Structure 1
Amino acid sequence: MQEPDALAKTNRINLLFDFYEPLLTEKQRTFLKYYFHDDYTLGEIAAEFEVSRQAVYEHIKRAESVLESYEHKLRLLARHEAAADLLSRLDAVAESLAGQDDVVCELRTISRRLKEIDGA
């Protein structure tokens, strides 16, 4: 896998992990944290937990598959990204309305409240 693809995959898994972490098993959470958050190698994780590299690899692959399955069904990440995009567009429109302070103020209020709802 090329470096940009690896970085994109890591970012996606980390985002999915943020949404679906409670739905994973303890071992899946632990191995994903070590591998994707802490940048441990398969060998380092295997040594830490006294299991084979293959076992670690299989747990990580299974956890990735589970995360993607949850996203396919629940679409939480997709909805979050769509909302973030719309908020960004709303902010851009507000900026383009220079001189219309009442409209800009209302748009910024809406944007701020939507961000609070989304937890952004």
Structure 2
Amino acid sequence: MIEDIVKKTLLFDFYGQLLTDKQRDIMEMYYTDDLSLSEISEQIGISRQGVYDTLKRAEATLIEYESRLGLVDKFLQHKSILSEIKSMLDEILNVDGIDVNEIKEMIKSIKNYIEKLE
């Protein structure tokens, strides 16, 4: 459930500006402001069902953008690779008496990770 909310929030962060104003407002109220469907319907003057339908259409649109562009997946991959690189660099910096050949191997691994980012 939380992963689903995080994924939708990321999708909104990346593609939210491509939604209609109404879709963007409803998604922001629902996910950012944590308002219920009823609270949103009261604020914007449409039915609860109208809010729900708009929210679902907006989510489907964001998912479609991601399936075509893949920016969120690329971002998450890059974040994971950078975390791995940081971990390897920390290991190099924090190990006393590390062998030069071990350092060279780790640097090769880091280089390979960086090439994946390109």
TM-score by length of 1: 0.77
CA distance in 1, matches of 2:42, 2:16: 24
Deviation at 1:8, TM superposition (A): 1.6
Query: What's the Cα RMSD here?
Result: 1.8
Provide runs of 4+ in structure 1 moved above 6 Å.
Answer: none
Deviation at 1:21, TM superposition (A): 1.2
Partner residue in 1 for 2:77: 82
Percent sequence identity over matched residues? 35
Where do 5+ consecutive residues of structure 1 fail to align?
115-120
CA distance in 2, matches of 1:73, 1:90: 28
Partner residue in 2 for 1:26: 21
Deviation at 1:50, TM superposition (A): 1.2
State the one-letter code of the partner of 1:70: Y
Where do 5+ consecutive residues of structure 2 fail to align?
none
Any residues of structure 2 matched to 1:96-107 within 5 Å, and which?
96-98=91-93
CA distance in 1, matches of 2:4, 2:79: 20
Task: Choose 1 or 2 for highest CA Rg.
Answer: 2
CA distance in 2, matches of 1:9, 1:39: 15
State the one-letter code of the partner of 1:87: L
State the one-letter code of the partner of 1:60: L
CA distance in 2, matches of 1:57, 1:91: 42
State the one-letter code of the partner of 2:22: K
CA distance in 2, matches of 1:36, 1:90: 32
CA distance in 2, matches of 1:33, 1:22: 11
Secondary structure at 2:61's aligned position in 1? helix
Establish whether residue 39 from structure 1 lines up as the match of residue 3 from structure 2.
Answer: no
TM-score by length of 2: 0.78
Instruction: Give the number of aligned pairs.
Output: 99
CA distance in 1, matches of 2:79, 2:37: 34
CA distance in 2, matches of 1:85, 1:13: 19
